[in-house]
């Protein structure tokens, strides 16, 4: 679990962010113009398209939740991604907002299930995007030959080929 949580999730957060930025050049331009927004970008990516969609849990007792009875022993699929798009919690939840004030998302868990590597994951993503925002304008992703992770628990890519215009990089540097 530690290997998966410490590697797979951060890799997926970064790849999801790369895909997002290449599809939203306005957000990429904002980050390139103001690098202090990179931490805000990481938090909003965690909320908007986090690497973990949810996890399975077993109910430890009988409970009623929003009019539904959950029995002890029931298997539950807790969808963090759904909670991160809750209109009762977030204004315009299905919109990516780089300046969103409410950063209290579920992407890294809550309470006793809060990710013990959250600080490292945030730091790794921040460092990656500090470097990648200069490279991204020269990258092209090959979605046709890419492959999404085939399990509903994770959101990311098994394979996503890319090319970089190295000549443009030399001119830009």
3-state secondary structure of 89: coil
The CA distance from 59 to 74, in Å, is 5
Mean pLDDT of 107-126: 83
Q: Residue 86 has what pLDDT?
A: 92
Q: Could you tell me where the DSSP H helices lie in 6-117?
A: 9-23, 25-33, 38-49, 80-83
Q: How far is CA 89 from CA 30, 77, 94, 95, 101, in A?
A: 25, 20, 12, 13, 11
Give the rounded distance of the alpha carbon of 88 from its chain centre. 21
pTM as predicted: 0.87
Residue 113 tokens read as: 């299930």
Q: CA 88, 91, 96, 100: dihedral to nearest 10 degrees?
A: -110
> Does the pLDDT of residue 142 top 60, yes or no?
yes
Q: Residue 6 has what pLDDT?
A: 65
The H or E element containing residue 170 is helix 166-172
Q: Residue 5 has what pLDDT?
A: 58
């Amino acid at each position: 679990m530690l290997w998966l949580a410490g590697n797979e999730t951060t890799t997926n957060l970064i790849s999801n962010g790369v895909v997002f930025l290449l599809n939203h050049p306005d957000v990429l331009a904002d980050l390139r113009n103001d690098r202090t927004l990179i931490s805000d970008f990481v938090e909003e990516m965690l909320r908007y398209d986090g690497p973990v969609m949810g996890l399975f849990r077993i109910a430890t007792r009988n409970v009623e939740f929003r009019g539904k009875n959950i029995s002890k022993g029931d298997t539950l699929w807790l969808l963090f991604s759904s909670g991160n798009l809750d209109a009762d919690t977030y204004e315009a939840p299905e919109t990516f907002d780089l300046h969103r004030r409410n950063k209290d998302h579920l992407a890294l868990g809550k309470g006793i299930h809060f990710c013990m590597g959250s600080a490292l994951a945030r730091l790794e993503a921040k460092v990656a995007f500090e470097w990648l925002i200069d490279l991204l304008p020269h990258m092209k992703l090959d979605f046709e030959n890419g492959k999404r992770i085939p399990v509903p628990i994770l959101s990311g890519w098994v394979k996503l080929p890319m090319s970089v215009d190295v000549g443009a990089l030399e001119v830009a540097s």
